[in-house]
Amino acid sequence: MLSYPQPGEITICEINRQFVTAREFSDVQSKDAYGEILGTVFSSVPFDPGFLSPNHDQAMEQEVPEAATNLGLSSLTDINAGSFKKLLFSSDNLKLPAQPSTQKISWFPHKHCLAFISGPNQVTVRDYEDSDRKDVCILTSDCQRDVKCIEWRPNSGKMVAVGCKRGIYIWSASYPANTATVRHGNAPSIGTFSRGAGMKMILVDVLKENDHNQEAEWDPEGRFILIAFSNSTTLGSIHFTSKPPSLDAQLLPVELPELSSLIGSGGIEKMAWDSSGERLALSYKYGDDKYAGLIAVYDVRRAPIVSVSLIGFIRGPGESAKPLELAFHNKFKQGPLLSVCWSSGLCCTYPLILRSHVVPTH
């Protein structure tokens, strides 16, 4: 049975697939709900929601004119992105979310290697453990425009996903074993090498779109990427079928039938996947008065492929509050910990407590 917060109720936390609600979001309510289990309480934090609103982002974009470019369609390693969309979705007019997450800096999970957005169209990588290479590595491509976010692939060789206004670009450290597998025919930018005297990287995968951004999340083991589209409730799963430096990949649909029936023609706006791989949080467009402005939370299974089941919904504080940004804490040992910035001007943190994760607090 889905856990749904009634109008006037505010979500406090999840405990084993059931969401705890209250009439207000306060330290007292949080302590009663999960304080004894976790030994701590996560207070809400006020902020100015204007800086996270879509209108603010659009105004900032208008100040910097976008360079004209003709992208067209290009291939992932073995599968054309356009064909992928036609196979998975009935609509020919899929749009990718117009407001992606904006992670500007990313540390490699297991080494002292830093990547950060250093210009509108480029990413700089600095490997502090490479004693022979003191200079940085610059990731740039003719088609890699308006970089929005970056994230290293977990549990892998050095591979970083670069989210741009019109697609996802995946760069990998240049190994002799993977350069030969790259296809050049359908994607001129595939095979582009980094600049600089630092670590060499090669552009190996591209999933491009002509109109809008896409949300994408790695799974904790680096075997999958989940992709969300702005006018579809079907997710795409890029499944890497072998370990680095091999680049074999499959693209599979992840259906969200319950959400589709609730929001109709709406699509996904924001997506976050926790570091344990067990919880996926989605915000979405549209929905009726009952479901508008909520966050859908899914239980995730990753074997043999990604599958999800809807647990319930999170409602934020304030009248008609809508989620602006959401993200999981990747190092919280006691289970998934979701933080959400709401349009009401509060950033709230929600423990999604699974008994298997809880450790003694004393």
CA dihedral 108, 113, 114, 118 (to 10 degrees): -120
More confident residue, 180 or 4: 4
Segments in 97-252 forming alpha helices (H): 176-179
Residue type for 184, please? H
Q: Is 260 helix (H, G, I), strand (E, B) or coil?
A: helix
Distance, CA of 5 to CA of 65 (rounded, Å): 43
For residue 191, pLDDT beyond 60: no
Q: CB count, 10 Å around CB of 242?
A: 10
SS3 state at 43? coil
Lowest mean pLDDT segment, chosen from 26-40, 46-60, 129-143, 177-191: 177-191
User: Which range among 93-97, 175-179, 247-251, 285-289 shows the weakest confidence by mean pLDDT?
Assistant: 175-179
In whole angstroms, give the CA distance from residue 12 to residue 303.
30
Q: Across residues 227-245, what is the average pLDDT?
A: 80
Tokens of 179: 């350069």
- Band of the pLDDT at 244, cuts 50, 70, 90? low
Share of the chain above pLDDT 90, in %: 24
- Report residue 36: phi and psi, to 5°: -70, -30
Q: CA distances (Å), 217 to each of 51, 180, 195, 227, 282, in order?
A: 23, 27, 26, 7, 12
Nearest to 255 by CA among 210, 206, 204, 310: 310
What is the percentage of the chain residues whose pLDDT exceeds 70? Answer: 71
The string of pLDDT tens digits covering residues 322-360 is 998 888 887 788 889 999 989 999 989 999 998 755 555
pLDDT digits (tens, 9 = 90+) for 273-303: 998 899 999 999 877 788 899 999 999 998 8
Instruction: Record the tokens describing residue 111, joined without a space.
Output: 């080494």
Contact between 297 and 15 (Cβ < 8 Å)? no
Does residue 304 have a cis bond before it (omega within 30 degrees)?
yes
- Among left, alpha and beta (phi > 0; psi -120 to 50; other), residue 47 is beta
How many Å is the maximal CA-CA distance in the chain? 61
- Burial zone of 265 (CB within 10 Å; 0-12 exposed, 13-18 middle, 19+ buried): exposed
Of 170, 165, 169, 161, the C-alpha closest to 212 is 165
Please, which residues bridge with residue 347 across strands? 45, 341
Strand 215-218 with 224-228, pairing: antiparallel
**Residue 334: what are its φ and ψ, rounded to 5°?**
-100, 20
Question: Residue range 146-170: average pLDDT?
Answer: 82
- Strands (E) across 189-254 are located at 201-208, 215-218, 224-228, 235-240, 249-254
